[in-house]
């Protein structure tokens, strides 16, 4: 329902009430004398803005967004920061290398759990190992609030932890430094992400801490593996069949959702995580500056505060206030719902709101394009080839990129403006990537063989059995399973 929290300031506290709220919005808009006159004279606000270019001029006067020259400079600065990070020089980016080698923890037919802890939601899946690959058994997803301590993190994990599992694989949308302890991949927290306040967990091994928490509270031993969401995406990418015919050095991964991050393959088994959201060699928009000042982590994650969906609704509110619209959203979902219905409602007040939201969305997409373009240029350095000749596969995860109206198209538009040829860039989305990637932390399919498979593998060394097994009908043994065994021989 509409919460009239202040004069001329109507807050949408429920996205389902958006359409019903438009009559209230027009009252707020009518405080502007010029607009009020148009409404009273039955002049269509949409046509008036289009014909007189008033909305465009108003948006330009806010000095919001980046022109092409600024975007090219941002792209160049990002490229330089990657180079500095690679050389261990001072940089706003990381150059964290992770070896994408799965560690065999779980056994064939064993059930384990995957948890994704993001900026605004948690996803849980029970997974079974079948023929060396993860098979999804159950799934649930819920929104979460901001975490204020490591104790809250542990209690949240405890809430979703299945009491029967022995292995837990955590996929975290947090800045992590990969580390190893015995046969476990762990992660050291590098900073508080996305407005979570986890200062008491920074510098600590998260997996080890979770294990100790469960052991102390329940006297139960579990093994916890950790990676951040971009490294998890890299594990999932490495498992893709279609990537086998694609140069791993020309694969880039990115998360464009509540938060923002990019990385790339250095070689077949080495992945570089950049922590792109921390890039700061650009001037924040006036909205971004206000958001940063009001955040729990000022002067940190400046790019993420311009790009991530966790912040876009706040950009909209600051622009709305500056333009005197009196329209205020109160969550990322309300902003995304406004965008999704861009072409459905043609009332004057709704037209103004959607135009403003589209401007915010385009600003985010243009900055994402500069990062992709800079990484492509970085990967092309020293190859003695024209930029147009190398083909890149961009593996993206995140509803902001894939499910928000026109976002992907806007990124492609700015990639072209920055000199890239779209026929040489392919965007790919991996289904259930968080499950697949995090599962690969604990499944080494090349080593998992059942007793039956081990016996068959021994028999394959006998020529006559090999010939019979190779030609055995599909009804006798699963084709995929057979091919795996033949591959192991």
b/e map of 212-242 (b: 16 or more CB within 10 Å)?
Answer: ebbeeeeeeebbbbbbbbbbbbbbbbbbbee
- Two tokens, residue 333: 């979902």
Exposure string over 370-401, b if 16+ CB within 10 A, otherwise e: bbbbbbbbbbbeeeeeeeeebebbbbbbbebb
pTM of the entire structure?
0.78
Give the model confidence (pLDDT) of 1-10 as tens digits: 223 333 333 3
Residue range of the domain that includes 55: 2-76+256-429
* Burial annotation 4-30 (CB, 10 A radius, 16+ → b, else e): eeeeebbbbebbeebeebbebbbebbb
Check whether residue 213 and residue 271 sit in a common domain.
no
Residues 147 and 281 in one domain: no
Say if residue 42's pLDDT is above 50.
no
Any idea what the CATH number is for the domain that residue 130 is in? 3.30.420.40
Any idea which of 186-200, 205-219, 220-234 has the lowest mean pLDDT? 186-200
Q: What is the pLDDT of residues 398-443, one digit of tens each?
A: 999 999 989 999 999 999 999 999 999 999 999 888 888 888 888 8
Confidence at residue 71, expressed as pLDDT on a 0 to 100 scale: 98
Structural domain contains residue 305: yes
Q: Is residue 247 part of a domain?
A: no
Q: What percent of the chain has pLDDT over 90?
A: 43
The terminus-to-terminus CA distance of the chain in angstroms comes to: 65
In a domain, 251, yes or no: no
How many Cα atoms within 13 Å fall on the side-chain side of residue 483? 3
In this structure, the answer to whether residues 263 and 365 fall within a common structural domain is yes
CA distances from 313 to 103, 278, 288, 329 (A): 41, 20, 11, 6
The mean pLDDT value for 237-243 works out to: 64
* 267 & 130 share domain: no
Measured CA distances, 347 to 1, 45, 47, 167, 325 (Å)? 20, 8, 11, 54, 15
How many domains does one find in the chain? 3
From 15-29, 68-82, 179-193, the region with the lowest mean pLDDT: 15-29
The token pair at 108 is: 């064939």
What are the tens digits of pLDDT across the range 277-321?
999 999 999 999 999 999 888 898 999 999 999 999 999 999 988
Strand order in the sheet with 167-172: 133-143, 121-130, 111-117, 167-172, 223-228
Both 116 and 224 in one domain: the answer is yes
**Do residues 332 and 275 both lie within one domain?**
yes
Say which DSSP state 285 is in.
P
């Amino acid at each position: 329902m509409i919460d009239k929290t202040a004069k001329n300031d109507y807050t949408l506290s429920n996205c389902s009430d958006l359409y019903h709220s438009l009559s209230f919005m027009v009252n707020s808009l009518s405080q502007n004398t010029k607009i009020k006159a148009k409404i009273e004279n039955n002049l269509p606000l949409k046509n008036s803005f289009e014909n007189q270019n008033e909305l465009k001029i108003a948006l330009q006067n806010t000095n919001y967004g980046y022109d092409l020259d600024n975007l090219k400079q941002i792209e160049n600065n990002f490229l330089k920061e990657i180079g500095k990070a690679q050389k261990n020089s001072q940089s706003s980016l990381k150059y964290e290398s992770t070896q994408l080698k799965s560690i065999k923890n779980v056994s064939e037919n064993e059930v384990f759990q995957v948890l994704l802890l993001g900026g605004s939601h948690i996803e849980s899946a029970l997974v079974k190992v079948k023929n060396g690959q993860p098979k999804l058994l159950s799934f649930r997803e819920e929104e979460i609030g901001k975490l204020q301590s490591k104790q809250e993190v542990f209690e949240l994990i405890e809430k979703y932890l299945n009491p029967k599992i022995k292995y837990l694989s955590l996929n975290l949308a947090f800045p992590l430094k990969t580390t190893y302890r015995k046969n476990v991949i762990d992660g050291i927290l590098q900073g508080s992400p996305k407005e979570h306040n986890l200062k008491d967990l920074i510098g600590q091994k998260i997996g080890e801490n979770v294990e100790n928490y469960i052991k102390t509270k329940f006297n139960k031993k579990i093994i916890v593996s950790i990676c951040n969401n971009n490294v998890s995406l890299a594990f999932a990418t490495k498992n893709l069949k279609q990537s086998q015919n694609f140069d791993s050095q020309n694969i880039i991964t990115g998360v464009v959702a509540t938060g923002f991050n990019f990385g790339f393959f250095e070689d077949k088994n080495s992945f570089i995580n950049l922590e792109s959201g921390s890039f700061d060699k650009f001037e924040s928009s006036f909205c971004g500056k206000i958001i940063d000042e009001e955040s729990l982590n000022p002067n940190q994650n400046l790019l993420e505060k311009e790009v991530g969906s966790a912040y876009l609704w706040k950009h909209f509110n600051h622009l709305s206030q500056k333009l005197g619209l009196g329209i205020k959203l109160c969550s990322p979902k309300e902003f995304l719902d406004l965008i999704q219905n861009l072409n459905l409602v043609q009332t004057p007040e709704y037209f103004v709101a959607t135009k403003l939201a589209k401007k915010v969305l385009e600003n985010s997409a243009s900055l994402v394009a500069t990062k992709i373009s800079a990484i492509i240029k970085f990967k092309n350095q020293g190859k003695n080839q024209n930029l147009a000749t190398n083909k890149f596969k961009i593996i993206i995860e995140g509803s902001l990129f894939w499910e928000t109206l026109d976002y992907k198209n806007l990124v492609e538009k700015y990639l072209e403006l920055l000199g890239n040829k779209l026929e040489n860039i392919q965007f790919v989305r991996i289904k259930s990537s968080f499950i697949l990637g995090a599962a690969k932390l604990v499944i080494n399919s090349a080593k998992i063989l059942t007793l039956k498979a081990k016996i068959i593998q021994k028999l394959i060394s006998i020529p006559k059995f090999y010939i019979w097994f190779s030609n055995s009908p599909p009804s006798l043994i699963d084709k995929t399973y057979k091919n795996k065994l033949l591959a192991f021989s």
